[in-house]
Amino acid sequence: SAPFISDFFKEPRLIAILRVLSFVLIINSFGIIQRVMLVRRIDFKTQTKISIIASISSGAVAIVLAYFGFGVWSLVIRTLTMQFLVAFLLSISNKWKPSPVFSFHSFKRLFRFGSRLLVSGLLNTIYMNLYYVIIGKFFSATDLGYFSNGKKLEEVASHAVSTSLQRVSYPVLSSMQKEESRLRAGFAKIIRTSTYLNFPIMVFLAAIAGPLIDLLFGAKWLPSIPYFQILCFAGMLYPLHAINLNILQVKGRSDLFLKLEIIKKAIFTAIIIIVLLLKLGIIGLLWGSVLSSYISYFINTIYSKELISYSIKDQVKDILPSFLLSFTMGAIVYITGILMPGGDLIKLLVQTLVGFTTYIGLSKLFKIKELDIVKDLALSFVKKAKR
């Protein structure tokens, strides 16, 4: 399919690049089981070490290659190097070794559940990258660059939080699946804690977008500021999507998981078509993604109510304090940035201090319990890191 994709984007270099990058699929397969075993053991310390080593090493390779003029291939080789290191380190960190015998019994037992998750994952991957295709096809390469820059910066925060919470919450909730009341209480606690952490991060990033992008990338990337800010509002709900969908997996209902994905993607497609027909531009597409994110959240909560009696009303009640505190903090940080004289670095330092003290202060003022939970988690993490 590389020639077809190359023709679609009118970029001949994509043929060789895509064919080389396709090896990532093969490389990743050698570390899947080992990663799952670490997740089941809730061993995120090992996973974090592996990710850090792979990221730093592959990044160093990319910098050296870029210095010697390899251009885009430095990024391609970085991707391959990173995935190889991750797969290799996962393999040596586990004693598990694959058996040469194929088990039809295991395949049959797992296929019905796993195949639906596979289709759901493929759908999600396609739609997660759909905006790159649409913007690349209907808008300029410059516009795509601004969008890509804003998207990647937003994903650093939102996907890091949502991926971590999804990996942690699944094994924790699985251990409670036979105790309905305990499962519901655990689920509610994870929802409250995740929003207490993620909401302020995303709102804060939107508030400091101007000086942040100017400092990190320079004045030529300032047009990506509104893209980044809008994407931050969509990213606020990513952890909630992941945690609500985890309940379906915990309950073994991959059929409902797939059903929800199809419904959400149909709504997302309709929103994209309307935006394109009305010629609302990239800003319209991004606000469409925000609308789709909020609609998807309400859809995801439907089965949370049916399976564990935790309704959308209960969830909104639990997340509303963090929502209000975050936007109050964000408004204060944004106004501080407008009134604050000086360079970007000084402005960011002051905004960070103001944002942190405001959020913590409001949490203490309104006696938000999640503040104590986050403190305990932070202390626990520090103690483990010292060992």
Encode pLDDT of 238-293 as tens digits: 888 888 888 888 777 888 888 888 999 999 999 999 999 999 999 999 999 999 99
pLDDT of residue 163: 66
Is the C-alpha dihedral spanning 26, 27, 33, 38 positive or negative? negative
Going by pLDDT thresholds of 50, 70 and 90, the confidence category of residue 387 is low
pLDDT of residue 175: 72
Do residues 268 and 279 lie in contact, with contact meaning Cβ atoms separated by under 8 Å? Answer: no
| Rama region for 130: left / alpha / beta (φ>0; ψ in -120 to 50; rest) | alpha
Reported pTM: 0.79
pLDDT of residue 31: 83
Going by pLDDT thresholds of 50, 70 and 90, the confidence category of residue 377 is confident
Identity at 342, one-letter amino acid code: G
pLDDT (tens digit per residue) in 31-61: 888 887 777 676 767 877 888 888 888 888 8
Which ranges constitute the DSSP H helices of the chain?
2-9, 14-21, 23-29, 32-40, 44-67, 72-92, 104-128, 130-138, 141-174, 180-207, 209-217, 225-235, 238-250, 254-277, 281-308, 312-339, 344-365, 370-386
pLDDT (tens digit per residue) in 287-326: 999 999 999 998 988 888 888 888 889 999 999 999 999 9
pLDDT of residue 170: 67
Q: Is 323 helix (H, G, I), strand (E, B) or coil?
A: helix
Going by pLDDT thresholds of 50, 70 and 90, the confidence category of residue 349 is very high
Listing DSSP states for 204-261 in one string gives HHHHTHHHHHHHHH-GGGGGGHHHHHHHHHHHTTHHHHHHHHHHHHHTT-HHHHHHHH
Average pLDDT over residues 184-210: 92
Q: Where are the domains of the chain?
A: 1-94, 113-386
| Residue carrying the six token digits 């994407």 | 231
Q: What is the CA radius of gyration of the chain?
A: 22
Q: Give me 42's structure tokens.
A: 């809730």
pLDDT (tens digit per residue) in 87-129: 898 888 877 777 777 777 777 777 777 788 888 888 888 888 8
| Residue carrying the six token digits 């036979």 | 178
Do residues 303 and 181 lie in contact, with contact meaning Cβ atoms separated by under 8 Å? Answer: no
> What is the number of alpha carbons within 13 Å of residue 79 lying toward its C-beta?
13
